[in-house]
Structure 1
Amino acid sequence: MTNHQPFPIDPTVEQLDLFALHSAPQLQYLDWASAELEYRRFLSLKKYYPNQLLIPPGAAWQLWQAHILDTRRYRSDCDSLFNRFIDHHPYLGHDSAADRRERYFAEQLYQGLYARHYPVLAGALALSD
């Protein structure tokens, strides 16, 4: 297996203004610095792997959901980062066995890519689920 260096956060993701999300009620108990870092890593992985369905765990998932609720900002941010809208599938895994397999694969793919590109931190990601 190749030893990968951690990915830097993509510069356009780094510049993304997420400050308004601080006031989202569903995020009030999160460790903001950790949640924001995990979300930026998710967005960076999504940018590096644009055709993969990736589902992040924990705080990154919660921050993604809060970001999506600000529809105008989310649409604009997606256009800036990805040149397209990134769909969110909050109920993926609830409808059928095939649906559950797709969700499981997306979660496993994300964790594998995270472990590859952020290896020192991958154990902490698994423990925080």
Structure 2
Amino acid sequence: MTDIVLTPVAGLTRGTPTEISTNRIAELPAVRRYIEAIDFTALKHRLVQKRDILGSEWSPARAVHAERCYKNWLYLRRRHESEMLPGPVDIEHFWHGHILDTRAYFEHCDRIFGYYLHHFPYFGGRGRLDRSELAAAWRRTQARYHAEFGEHLHDFRE
């Protein structure tokens, strides 16, 4: 793992750090290529395993769908990093698995974002206003996803 050197970046908001690692990939096309090259084979394998061995009993098709959506979502998070862009349940679950691979997650965040992308699992659950903000953020996610990828974001349907 490379050493992390932080540099200030102006204009980042909503909990985004103002100091960014110099390991951050600068150009969005290069970010996209980096994300596409991430190998999630082990995570997908884990997701399709039985629950008694810490799997989630997903179908292989669901794991592949979630990987594609998660990679797209990571790119959106970088492209629109000052915005709250929550994902659907499958992305959340895939993200949790990625986070648990702590070394890989840290390295990927360092390259994609230049900082550790924290997960706040309580968004939408802290009262009526919070639920309303989550709904608005979800609509924004859908609009951004559709504009970027030409489809709406959704959980896999068996």
How high is the TM-score relative to the length of structure 1? 0.78
> Please, which runs of 5 or more residues in structure 2 have no aligned partner?
1-28, 48-53
| CA pair 17-85 structure 1, distance change in 2 beyond 3 A | same
1:70 to 86, 94, 101: 101
Partner of 1:14: 36
2:66 and 2:156 in contact (8 A); partners too = no
List structure 1 runs of 4+ shifted beyond 4 angstroms: 126-129
> Please, which runs of 5 or more residues in structure 1 have no aligned partner?
1-7
> How much identity, in percent, do the aligned residues show?
29
Q: Kindly indicate whether structure 1 or structure 2 has the higher relative contact order, using CA contacts under 8 Å at least 6 residues apart.
A: 1
Alignment RMSD, CA only?
Answer: 2.3
1:27 and 1:62 in contact (8 A); partners too = no
Deviates more, 1:41-50 or 1:12-21: 12-21
Structure 2 counterparts to residues 1-129 of structure 1, below 5 A: 10-22=32-44, 23-24=46-47, 25-30=54-59, 31-119=62-150, 121-122=151-152, 125-126=153-154, 128=156
Deviation at 1:69, TM superposition (A): 2.1
Give the total of aligned pairs. Answer: 119
| Corresponding letter in the other structure for 1:47 | R
Deviation at 1:110, TM superposition (A): 0.6
| CA pair 21-127 structure 1, distance change in 2 beyond 3 A | closer
Deviation at 1:67, TM superposition (A): 1.0
Choose 1 or 2 for highest CA Rg.
Answer: 2
